[in-house]
Chain A
Amino acid sequence: MVNLGIKIHELDFKNPVLTASGTCGFGEEIADFIDLSLLGGIVVKGTTLKHREGNAYPRMAETPSGMLNAVGLQNKGVDNFITNIYPRIKDLDTHIVVNVNGSTIEDYVALTERLNELDKVPAIELNISCPNVKEGGMAFGISCPSAEAVVKAVRKVYSKTLIVKLSPNVTSIAEIAKAVEGQGADSVSLINTLLGMAVNAETRKPVLSTITGGLSGPAIKPIALRMVWQVYNAVKIPVIGMGGIMNASDAIEFMIAGASAIQVGTALFIDPTIPVKIIDGISEYMERHKIQSVNEIIGSLQC
């Protein structure tokens, strides 16, 4: 038996495979397809202090080897999460991580304070990288001072594992990673989607209602891998890698580049059973390469 267990800060995960925020709802939506307790963790849909309707339709454009989305953090707000959803998912035998969003630092802090009270939410993923909202979101994550300010404020009120989700839409993601590490982030996850655009040549109109949206899928994998490797070399805190992971080999590549854990996102839309296939594929790889602990893979890139 191979050992798939990994650690992010003080939190033990049974394996390094998590589902990415915004791609598996609250987990329940994919429970028909897989046993959720097999997952390392579930990062639930981006949550805000108040209900958000999200952006107007159309919100999606298929692109070569990927897709653009412009959902805009549609969610029913933290009160609905705590009252209606949390009781249903809290006893799942996997880690529930809540993806936290805000338009202002005060929003992030108020939301985090609420989540800090939930026993069965051992970590939050602070989203300072959503490209699809007019205020806040990515605006916090594209400069060191604003990223530092929001992490510093949230760190004061959050005692558990604080993961910060980074935007790839920056000149140097390693600088942002160092900045949030300096303010007490326990881990960084990357990458969020890349800002992109699709045009309909026949109508000369943008495909998305918001004109621009976030690109995901295998189209962005080489960029994500490069950024994970750069950040791994720049910080001491564990890195959670994501961006176009479609199979076990992709996941292993991210771990070799420095990711302690990975998130599967867009691939779930095509195959909701994929996280389990990836977990099995990592085990198979380890057996084949006679690797006992998955930790031996992390950052094992041989240059």
Chain B
Amino acid sequence: MKKTVIDFLLLENKQLNKDNFLLILQSPLPVSGIFPGQFINIEIKESTEIFLRRPFSILDVDYEKQTISLLVKILGRGSKKLTEARSGQKINGIFPLGKSFTLPEKTDNVILIGGGSGVAPMLFLAKIAGLEPTNVTILIGARSASDHVDISAYKSFGQFYFTTEDGSLGEKGYVTNHPVFAENLNHYTKIYTCGPDLMMKAIGRKAIEENIFCEVSLENMMACGFGVCLCCVEDTKAGHKCVCTDGPVFNVNDLKW
């Protein structure tokens, strides 16, 4: 799908918990060519402190209604401002950007691991992977139960497991401590992950060790989002690669992890 700069209409802005918001954007154009892992770069403006767009990965797409859902977590001044937007407001976005995750084969048994707002592309991937729910394991980590977002709309796409650092939901600890990851990794043919760098590195290294296909979605700071500023580079085995256009999804074997 061709990259476009477009004014979306904000249909809904719903607070999910303390720091997470669900934004539903109506697109004037068809959104059929959007896949999990791709992102949208949103103009925030309204302050001289917020000069650049902010990238958000796509949580969901309704191809018929032409809507895009975003999970927006307050991380700084840009994301905070966006969560203050009201329905009916225009939101300018550049989309679709970046490369998506490699969709699994019918025979694959996959584990999707999301941390923090990295849960968004994992849920989208679970939904459109087209696998039997018994072959999809979704492991989600957060600091505390109150940081977890409601996944009930995605429940039918796989088996969900949770971890929290304080033990208030699911297993206590990190996703890498959870038995579905720590004790059972060879059960899976593909690992997909999105979340904090340290989490993805721990998962990626384990995948390399066990020789399992693993894709990670990186989140380096970027200015443009479409491959011209060369600011968001990751130092890969093939040299500096732009996270915005060569990624954000990378096979872990291509990284210097």
Which A residues fall within an 8 A CB radius of B?
Answer: 22-25, 29-30, 32-33, 45, 53-54, 56-60, 62-67, 69, 71, 74, 217, 266, 268-273
Contacts and interface: CB of A to CB of B under 8 A. Distances in A.
A171 B36 CA distance: 52
Contacts of A217: 51
Given A57-B234, A69-B231, A74-B230, A64 B240 contact: no
B229 A65 contact: no
Interface in B204-235: 220-235
A24 B53 CA distance: 16
Interface stretch (B1-9, B16-24, B163-171): B1-9
Contacts of B2: 32
Contacts of A63: 51
B5 A271 contact: yes
A71 B5 contact: no
A53 B231 contact: no
A65 B230 contact: no
A268 B3 CA distance: 14
Given A33-B5, A53-B240, A54-B240, A59 B51 contact: no
B30 interface: no
A72 to B, nearest CB: 9
Interface residues of B, number: 31
Contact of A30 (B43, B226, B230): B226
A48 to B, nearest CB: 14
Contact of A25 (B49, B53, B227, B239): B227
B52 interface: yes
Nearest to A28: B227
Contacts of A30: 226, 228
B107 interface: no
Interface string B17-50: 0000000000000000000000000010000111
A62 B226 contact: no
Given A59-B230, A69-B223, A270 B43 contact: yes
A64 B49 contact: yes
Contacts, number: 92
Contacts of A268: 224, 228
B150 to A, nearest CB: 32
A55 B5 CA distance: 30
Given A32-B3, A33-B3, A54-B240, A23 B51 contact: no
Contacts of B91: none
Interface of B: 2-5, 43, 48-53, 94, 220-235, 239-240, 245
Q: Is the interface of A mostly helix, strand, loop or mixed?
A: loop
A270 B229 contact: no
Nearest to A70: B231
Nearest to B94: A272
A29 B227 contact: yes
A57 B52 contact: no
B223 A64 contact: no
A281 to B, nearest CB: 16
B5 A269 contact: no
B253 to A, nearest CB: 20
A272 B231 contact: no
B56 to A, nearest CB: 16
B52 A269 contact: yes
A65 B48 CA distance: 5
Contacts of B3: 32-33
Contacts of B51: 62-67, 217, 270
Given A33-B4, A33-B5, A270 B53 contact: yes
Contacts of B4: 32-33
A22 B234 CA distance: 18
B228 A60 contact: no
B228 A29 contact: yes
Contacts of B52: 62, 67, 269-270
Given A62-B52, A74-B230, 10 more contacts: A29-B228, A33-B5, A57-B232, A58-B220, A60-B229, A64-B48, A71-B230, A71-B231, A271-B43, A272-B228
Given A54-B233, A268-B228, A60 B221 contact: yes
Contacts of A25: 227-228
A222 B43 CA distance: 24
